[in-house]
Structure 1
Amino acid sequence: MSLCRPFLDAARRNPSHPALILDGAPVSYGALREMALRVGAGMSALAVAGGERPRVTLRLGNGPEFLALFLGTVAAGGVVALLDPKWSEGQAEAALDTLRPALRLTDDTAAGWIAAQPMGWVPPPVDPRTPFLIGFTSGTTGRPKAFIRDQGSWLATLEASRMEFGIGPEDVVLVPGPLVHGLGLYGAFEGLSAGATVHVQPKFDPTDAARRLASAGVTTLVVVPTMLVGILDAADRQALRFPALRRVVCSGAKLAPAVHERLTALCPEAAVLEYYGASELSFVSLRSSHEGAPADSVGRPFHGVELELRDDDGQPTAPGRPGTVWVRSRMLSDGYVGATDGAGYREHDGWGTVGDYGWIDGDGWLRLVGRAGDMLISGGLNVYPAEVETALRACPAVAEAVVFGLPDPYWGDAVSAVVWWREEDRASAAELRAWCHGRLEGYKAPRRVFAADAMPLTGSGKIARADLRERALAGGLEELA
């Protein structure tokens, strides 16, 4: 089955139903389908002319054209490559040199190109093994890598998320983040495949998002933690409630306990569905607020996923022992496009890993410790930042924390943390170290602690760790005594 078939079927069943809401203006399923079929006609013509499946790059902001181009290209068996509009020209040109697309579309050219394509095109059958998507990892350090997926991997992903999230045609989904990133694109595509109405924003606006949640009948919010904090702050300022919200789907980082508490207080009936995954792996595990998972875990395996922890020799670890997280499912990517540095995604005998390190407790809950490339060596001992961050986020005074290493002549890497305070609460560096000593081995407690007001973000809404580390090195952050 073609990956676009669920959307096309939903459009055929209910063409007048709103598919998208952008700036208050609805786009019906029938209208979006017509745009997508025009795109399919144009992509099919490119394929005939070039003799191979067309590869198109999209460097667009959020809007109907973005989704029509994605849907139509996929329906035609083409490949969509996503370029972030926020990239510099140098970054974009480097990606284009690797991808060598048959067509490049931007906000300035997309609408005109779609309008110029003929009507009446009929989508052909598409083999699920057909590649359809090239995206870029949104890591907070290092150069993003281009990963590639086939249609079958997202068909399996749709099946798995339908089992876990249960989004249907009666739902109203708010996707406030950029569609050029995986969470936003998949959230919108999942909603359209289910026949739901999807709200998108031209640019993330927490006040507008909070108002939509309060008054537009939104049942599902798909968001990264930093955006959720902004929405909750906006709701507090305006004393808003979210009466229709039934589920919050969150990924990109773990929710800090303080944020989880605020969300639960605002809408206690809504399920909070935090999933751990990676661009190369898709869904890995799920922590649902309705299942009683420990707060410091990332939940249990997602539907259709098998997990195995392996030691440095590739052998399964003993129960309760840490190891590298390996994943087997039908949702894995096909690896990277172009030259890479050898780090990141690896696959062997149907199992894949991105190098994350963790352990599984006796009840089957997965806890992450960190990623191999993020590990610090402080005083000759290994420290994974994620483990320290989890401990700091549990402190009542801390709303969010980021941990990294700073060069030190004695320790090698001095474990260092940047914290953001929760409301008016504050703590000293000594108090935060004492807090960590009660939860971690002593050498993992941060030796240097910085406080920050602003939270620098990547294009996908994650905290820009590399920027924070550079600011700490340059003396641009307040260091606590």
Structure 2
Amino acid sequence: MPFLNKLQLWADEHPYDTAVVVGNARRTWADLRDAASVLARDAKATTILAERNSVDFVERYVAAVSGERRCAVLDPEWPEALIDEVSLRLVDAPATGRKKPGGAEPTGLPAGTLVDGDPTTTFLVGLTSGTTAMPKAFTRSRRSWQVSFDASIAFFGLTRQDRTLAPGPLSASLNLYALSECLYAGAAFHTLESFDVGDAHAAISHDGITRLVLVPTMLRLLSERGLAGGVDASGVRSIICAGSKLDARTLEAARRWAPNAAIFEYYGASELSFVSGTELPADQPLDAGGTGIGSPFPGVELKILDDAGQPLPDGEHGNICVRSGMVSNGYLWGDDGHALRCLDGWYTVGDQGFVKNGILNMLGRQSDMIITAGKNVYPHEVELALASVPGIDTAIAAGAPDDIRGQKVVAGVVPAYGAVTATQLRTGLDGLLARDKRPVQYYVLSELPMTDRGKISRNVLLDWIKNHDPRAVPLG
């Protein structure tokens, strides 16, 4: 992995400084190096980790990528049968990257050696979320993450003096990357055994946290409850968010709760790594709303191409395509030809967007697009606008069958407090969303529509509407 040489350096230079904290457990740089070195003696060519956050997880992860070994991190919340099936496939899957003479799989340097292997070799097998079927498996080279580290450390301003809290599961790529980035940079990394608002607030208050890495839903919870409970976040200097665009309510709460923090948001994909990003400095006014998600990330070239690979002019939407040294190697399995694609040297995962005045605007997946009366509408754009309406906690939009329009835009909303009316929603969208993109029917949701694997689903929303489910009540 592209952080082991650095870990050895930090263990030599700062052996007793804190490297990792998980809940109440702590490891210094020397502790982490020594524990991982022992584990590396028996590490296999491929290690599979499917467990919750712990310092043991961190030690095994470090050992698992020593030399030219590779690691696959699975979501421990997956059904046991799915974990078993994925694990069997991973054991049988060939390694990618450089091969040893005779075609043997690379098994690394001498046992117990914590050094980075050849940059071209695979160190990580990433897996998609697996919401409806067997997740796709893709691979990352050591070089791709070192390039990513150098770019993200510079963009986010990470220093050795920072203390990063990423309170989510390490099985999620956002948090696993944050851990790895901190090990590379020599900065202390904190996480929780499981996400808990009170535990996160305690870490911020008592551990000197200067940096948060989290998804928008977590940021809203921490900010709003922190404000209500008087939790001091003035020492937080940067907040880094990914997963979805920040809405106005979350931005405003975060700014009030952590007034000295620069707020970063970025767009990326597991197979592409970073694509674009933006920073809102602490002393600048909020500019919420819209679909803009920043300029190309350092080291990334960005173009909007049509399905034939032809460039599109500014303002016209198409495939978001990149060229960078951070792109993954491709898939071990699951490539259906519509996921990671290469269009004349430019890579895309099918996300749609457009560039205007140098800013990338994210619209969503092409497969999610609603065609209503000949107009293309992306649910993501509708959801962002609805989430900015006062009194709305979250929103989800979808395309329902319609005899006249082909499809019609419908939306479900979860109120933040009290009751909500259709008139309130329609009025709230003025200036936020073009009239031909607005929902024709609204529903108040008692809960978000989820799959049995815990993912928000537009198809489940449509099923609720079709079957008159009491969890989706129509607004007049």
Displacement, 1:128? Answer: 0.7
Residue of structure 1 equivalent to 2:396: 402
**3-state SS of paired residue (1:336):** strand
From 212, 223, 238, give the equivalent of 1:232.
Answer: 223
Contact kept, 8 Å, 1:226 with 1:461, in 2: the verdict is no
Matched, 1:431 2:424: yes
Question: Are residues 39 and 471 of structure 1, via their aligned partners in 2, closer, same or farther at CA, if it must alter by over 3 Å?
Answer: farther
Displacement, 1:65? Answer: 1.8
The separation in 1 between residues aligned to 2:115 and 2:278, in whole angstroms, is 39
**3-state SS of paired residue (1:252):** coil
Deviations 1:46-79 (A, max 9, x none): 4xxxxxxx12211111011211122112122111
Residue of structure 1 equivalent to 2:299: 304
Residue of structure 1 equivalent to 2:82: 91
Residue of structure 2 equivalent to 1:82: 73
Residue of structure 1 equivalent to 2:308: 313
Contact kept, 8 Å, 1:59 with 1:85, in 2: the verdict is yes
**3-state SS of paired residue (2:331):** coil
Matched, 1:393 2:387: yes
Contact kept, 8 Å, 2:267 with 2:276, in 1: the verdict is yes
The separation in 2 between residues aligned to 1:199 and 1:387, in whole angstroms, is 34
Question: Are residues 124 and 252 of structure 1, via their aligned partners in 2, closer, same or farther at CA, if it must alter by over 3 Å?
Answer: closer
Displacement, 1:379? Answer: 3.2
The separation in 2 between residues aligned to 1:392 and 1:452, in whole angstroms, is 14
Q: For structure 1, which segment, 277-286 or 60-69, has the greater mean C-alpha deviation from structure 2 after superposition? A: 60-69
Deviations 1:375-433 (A, max 9, x none): 12223432111111122122223232221223344444331212232345x53224323
Q: How does 1:148-227 map to 2 (within 5 A)?
A: 148-227=139-218
Whichever residue aligns with residue 414 of structure 2, its letter is W
Contact kept, 8 Å, 2:3 with 2:180, in 1: the verdict is no
The separation in 2 between residues aligned to 1:387 and 1:30, in whole angstroms, is 48
Contact kept, 8 Å, 2:125 with 2:139, in 1: the verdict is yes
The separation in 2 between residues aligned to 1:359 and 1:20, in whole angstroms, is 40
The separation in 2 between residues aligned to 1:381 and 1:139, in whole angstroms, is 31
The separation in 2 between residues aligned to 1:427 and 1:281, in whole angstroms, is 39
Displacement, 1:443? Answer: 3.0
Displacement, 1:181? Answer: 1.0
Whichever residue aligns with residue 381 of structure 2, its letter is E
The separation in 2 between residues aligned to 1:219 and 1:399, in whole angstroms, is 27
Relative contact order (C-alpha < 8 Å, sep 6+): which is higher?
1
Q: For structure 1, which segment, 455-464 or 249-258, has the greater mean C-alpha deviation from structure 2 after superposition? A: 455-464
Displacement, 1:167? Answer: 1.5
Residue of structure 1 equivalent to 2:28: 28
Structure 1 residue runs without a partner (length 5+): 47-53, 103-118
Displacement, 1:223? Answer: 0.3
Q: For structure 1, which segment, 392-401 or 350-359, has the greater mean C-alpha deviation from structure 2 after superposition? A: 392-401
Residue of structure 2 equivalent to 1:360: 355
Contact kept, 8 Å, 1:55 with 1:80, in 2: the verdict is yes
Residue of structure 2 equivalent to 1:280: 271
Residue of structure 1 equivalent to 2:104: none
Displacement, 1:460? Answer: 11
Residue of structure 2 equivalent to 1:39: 39
Displacement, 1:199? Answer: 1.3
Contact kept, 8 Å, 2:3 with 2:116, in 1: the verdict is no
The alignment's TM-score, normalised by the length of structure 2, stands at 0.88
Contact kept, 8 Å, 1:293 with 1:365, in 2: the verdict is no
Whichever residue aligns with residue 227 of structure 1, its letter is M
Deviations 1:350-389 (A, max 9, x none): 4211111111112x11111221111122234321111111
The alignment's TM-score, normalised by the length of structure 1, stands at 0.87
Deviations 1:182-223 (A, max 9, x none): 001011111222222211111110121122222321001110
Displacement, 1:38? Answer: 2.0
Whichever residue aligns with residue 275 of structure 1, its letter is Y
Question: Are residues 298 and 140 of structure 1, via their aligned partners in 2, closer, same or farther at CA, if it must alter by over 3 Å?
Answer: farther
From 336, 339, 343, give the equivalent of 2:334.
Answer: 339
Residue of structure 2 equivalent to 1:111: none
Whichever residue aligns with residue 325 of structure 2, its letter is R
Displacement, 1:292? Answer: 7.8
Displacement, 1:267? Answer: 1.5
The separation in 2 between residues aligned to 1:431 and 1:159, in whole angstroms, is 46
The separation in 1 between residues aligned to 2:365 and 2:25, in whole angstroms, is 43
The separation in 2 between residues aligned to 1:127 and 1:324, in whole angstroms, is 33
Structure 2 residue runs without a partner (length 5+): 94-109
Tell me the matched-pair count: 454
From 408, 411, 430, give the equivalent of 1:414.
Answer: 408
The separation in 2 between residues aligned to 1:455 and 1:421, in whole angstroms, is 11
Displacement, 1:143? Answer: 5.2
**3-state SS of paired residue (1:446):** coil
Question: Are residues 462 and 12 of structure 1, via their aligned partners in 2, closer, same or farther at CA, if it must alter by over 3 Å?
Answer: farther
Contact kept, 8 Å, 1:138 with 1:460, in 2: the verdict is no
The separation in 2 between residues aligned to 1:460 and 1:224, in whole angstroms, is 18
The separation in 2 between residues aligned to 1:346 and 1:259, in whole angstroms, is 34
Displacement, 1:129? Answer: 0.7
Residue of structure 2 equivalent to 1:5: 5
Residue of structure 1 equivalent to 2:126: 135
Question: Are residues 319 and 405 of structure 1, via their aligned partners in 2, closer, same or farther at CA, if it must alter by over 3 Å?
Answer: closer
Displacement, 1:298? Answer: 0.3
Q: For structure 1, which segment, 273-282 or 386-395, has the greater mean C-alpha deviation from structure 2 after superposition? A: 386-395
The separation in 1 between residues aligned to 2:417 and 2:230, in whole angstroms, is 17
Displacement, 1:136? Answer: 1.4
**3-state SS of paired residue (1:42):** coil
From 235, 252, 261, give the equivalent of 1:244.
Answer: 235
Deviations 1:143-178 (A, max 9, x none): 532221111110001000111112122111111100
Question: Are residues 471 and 10 of structure 1, via their aligned partners in 2, closer, same or farther at CA, if it must alter by over 3 Å?
Answer: farther
Displacement, 1:451? Answer: 2.3
**3-state SS of paired residue (2:411):** strand
The separation in 2 between residues aligned to 1:32 and 1:333, in whole angstroms, is 28
**3-state SS of paired residue (2:278):** strand
Residue of structure 1 equivalent to 2:101: none
The separation in 1 between residues aligned to 2:424 and 2:397, in whole angstroms, is 16
Residue of structure 2 equivalent to 1:449: 442
Contact kept, 8 Å, 2:4 with 2:116, in 1: the verdict is no
Contact kept, 8 Å, 1:389 with 1:403, in 2: the verdict is yes
